[in-house]
Each structure stands twice: as structure tokens, then as C-alpha cells.
Amino acid sequence: MPIRPDLRQHYGSVWQSVRARILERAGGKFDKKGKYLGGARCEQCKVPDQQRVERWFGAWRSLLKGRPLLG
């Protein structure tokens, strides 16, 4: 999730290097100048970086227990 412009002052000057290490560990690719090219994925669920995901844990839990979703 991007940092809002009005909150960037709270992260200090090291934020870009920390972000780069996190993205690199997650499989992200960078060009020779250090610009992020994409390719990082969540380490737990393998969802690609910057992709919106909706989770329905309650619905799945109900289905697994054999209960109807509504009612």
C-alpha cells in the first residue's frame, strides 16, 4: 500500500532502501538505476504485488462446516 504524501515525513530517508529490500526478498525485479519493475509476490499467499484481493474467510468457513451462507 502506498504511503500517503502527507505521512511520508514520518518514514525518514531510509524508507526507499527498506522498501527495496522487502520487494527484492519477495522476488521483485529492479533495473540498473534501482527503479522497481514489478514481479514481487506475497510470501504467504503468492498474490502479485499491487493486485487487489478480496477475502471471504467467513463464507468459506461456513461452507466447510456445511452451513448455508445465508440464514
**Is the C-alpha dihedral spanning 16, 18, 19, 23 positive or negative?**
positive
pTM value is 0.56
Confidence grade of residue 68 (pLDDT, cut at 50, 70, 90)? low
DSSP classification of residue 12: -
In a domain, 46, yes or no: yes
Indicate the residue type of 11. Y
Q: How many angstroms separate the CA atoms of 65 and 10, rounded? A: 45
Listed as own residue / partner, the contacts of 18-22 with beta carbons closer than 8 Å and 24 or more positions apart are none
Question: Which structural domain range is residue 57 located in?
Answer: 5-64
pLDDT in tens, 44-55: 888 888 887 766
pLDDT in tens, 30-40: 999 988 899 99
Place of cell 540498473: 32
Tally of domains within the chain: 1
In a domain, 14, yes or no: yes
In a domain, 71, yes or no: no
